[in-house]
Amino acid sequence: MTILQNIPSLRQELERFNSGLNLPDEVVEVIVQSIRLGQKSPVKGLGLGEKAPDFILPDENGNPYQLSRLLKHGPVVLSFFRGDWCPYCNLELQALQQALPEIKAQGARLISVHPQTLMHSEALTAKYGLDYPLLSDPDQMIMEAYNVRFALHDEVVELYRDTFGINLVSLNANGQWNLPIPATFVIGTDGLVKARHFDHDYRKRMEPSEIVDLLKQINVSAA
């Protein structure tokens, strides 16, 4: 496993954040139960070796990005995240930014997709100094195509809205209580999924060092 110098492990950062939450037992139970229900659902994410659906989505400045055009120049790391309100996603976005030079060194592009509006893309980019595009999927059709889109259960809707003060009706561009699983897909120049991270437990993400290692393996195989 590659060790990215001076870059803290994302896994350690997430665990550190989790340990400081001190959530009530009943809140934790709702979260755990929702994860278990999700694991039994048909939302499984695009599989290894499957063709990645092409798409065109706008970045924070409204500039269109097309997957098939990006793949002409090298592999693509495609990450889905839930929104700017999610602290786990914010930690992941920053970790990916820190790993961006090594991702680019492997000839790859990094793009992240979310269900909010361009305004949220612009704010996140400015807040964290991101040098990779955040793409808005307002109708969540790309999330659906990659089989990462799911509807929140009623108990989770109540928890988010009434306990956490998170109202996806106003936060999501489509005004619905749907989210993407925060999945990551490494897509080869042939358009096939070479590696992926998919977990209904939104507290777990793909380690940036693992992404870099996978890109190196792809380049070796292509040589």
Residue range 9-34: average pLDDT? 76
* Residue 31, pLDDT score: 80
Tell me how far apart the alpha carbons of residues 74 and 82 are, in angstroms, rounded to a whole number: 26
- What separation in angstroms does the CA of 71 have from each of 3, 36, 48, 55, 132? 26, 35, 17, 12, 15
Tell me how far apart the alpha carbons of residues 28 and 175 are, in angstroms, rounded to a whole number: 26
Cα Rg of the chain (Å, integer): 17
Place of tokens 């991101």: 130
Q: What pLDDT digit, counting tens, does each position of 51-110 carry?
A: 999 999 999 999 999 999 999 999 999 999 999 999 999 999 999 999 999 999 999 999
pLDDT at position 20 over 70: no
* Residue 1, pLDDT score: 44
Share of the chain above pLDDT 70, in %: 94
Q: How confident is the model at residue 161 (pLDDT cuts 50, 70, 90)?
A: very high
User: Which among 110, 30, 40 is positioned nearest to 75, based on CA atoms?
Assistant: 110
Can you name the residues that pair with 51 across neighbouring β-strands?
A: 192
Domains of the chain: 10-222 (3.40.30.10)
Q: Which sign does the torsion angle of CA 64, 185, 89, 148 carry?
A: positive
